Amino acid sequence: MKNMHDKPVPWIVPKLSKPLVDIFIKYGKKVTYKKDSIIIHEKEIMDFLFYIKSGIISQAVVNFSLNKPLAMNIFIPGRMMGYLNFFTGTNSPRRITALDRSEIIILDFDMMECIIDSDMELYKRLVNYCELCDRSELNGMIGLFSMSTEDRLRFLFTNILCAYGYSFDESMDNEWVKVPISIRRDDIIKIIYTSKITLDRLFANWVKSSFLMRDGRHYYIKPANLREIYKWVTAI
């Protein structure tokens, strides 16, 4: 089955297709989490899937070095989590946190298995989605491990804009574009795996070069500063 989901964006997995969303709506349980609530700890076994209705969720890889932050990726509304171990049954230790007030719909593994076992079309859709999510995470790791810190920051903003459908029309390269979600500085530090001092220096340089503007928790950016990274993202 092809073209079932959006092309996967590094770090931000694609939207879940409507037939699978409908399963969560019909059989799942709605739960709301306050900002900074831990949904599942890395030592817990995750035996459920969940669909994000609103908010921002992070999935962090635990780092046991005391002087390094957690490396993490983010999940925005319309996405599903739990795909890493649904088919294998092997637990993948991750710390999952609500970065903002978030509403999710939870569905136990057993319930999803019963539903897709009797519907091959839904089974294929879920397999396809999980594969695309794995590819999204892999491409994110490639960027994280191969890019400079400044390019990782460009990578993050590029992926967020792509995930929300920004077209990167070259005629808009020098126009201010609002980054569609607000992410705290401390969370950006963890996502791109850097330090407060380094991120503050990058932000100061970008503001000085008129690449970045900040209004409270919201960022505005000129796509010209992201153009080369965008070419890389669309090529992988």
Query: Are the C-beta atoms of 29 and 37 separated by less than 8 Å?
Result: no
Kindly write down the DSSP assignment for every residue of the chain, as one continuous string: --S-SPPPBTTBPPPPPHHHHHHHHHH-EEEEE-TT-EEE-TTS---EEEEEEES-EEEEE----TTSPPEEEEE-TT-EE-TTTTTT------EEEESSSEEEEEEEHHHHHHHHHT-HHHHHHHHHHHHHHHHHHHHHHHHHHHS-HHHHHHHHHHHHHHHTT----GGGTTS-EE-SS---HHHHHHHTT--HHHHHHHHHHHHHTTSEEEETTEEEE-GGGGHHHHHHHHH-
Return the CATH architecture of domain 18-145.
Sandwich (2.60)
Question: What pLDDT does residue 235 have?
Answer: 86
Neighbouring-strand partners of residue 105 = 30, 51
Listed residue (20, 14, 2) closest to 135, CA to CA: 14
Average pLDDT on 124-146 reads 92
Residue 68 in this model has a pLDDT that exceeds 60: no
Top-confidence residue, 136 or 70: 136
Fold topology of 147-235:
Arc Repressor Mutant, subunit A (1.10.10)
Where are the chain's structural domains? 18-145, 147-235
Residue 62 in this model has a pLDDT that exceeds 90: no
Question: What pLDDT does residue 2 have?
Answer: 39
**Range of weakest confidence among 62-71, 94-103, 133-142:** 62-71
Which percentage of the chain shows pLDDT scores above 70? 94
Kindly write down the DSSP assignment for every residue of 75-95, as one continuous string: E-TT-EE-TTTTTT------E
Same fold, 18-145 and 147-235: no
Residue 3 in this model has a pLDDT that exceeds 50: no
* Per-residue CA distances from 182 to 56, 105, 186, 187, 219 (Å): 9, 22, 12, 10, 7
What's the pTM?
A: 0.90
Neighbouring-strand partners of residue 100 = none
Top-confidence residue, 129 or 45: 129
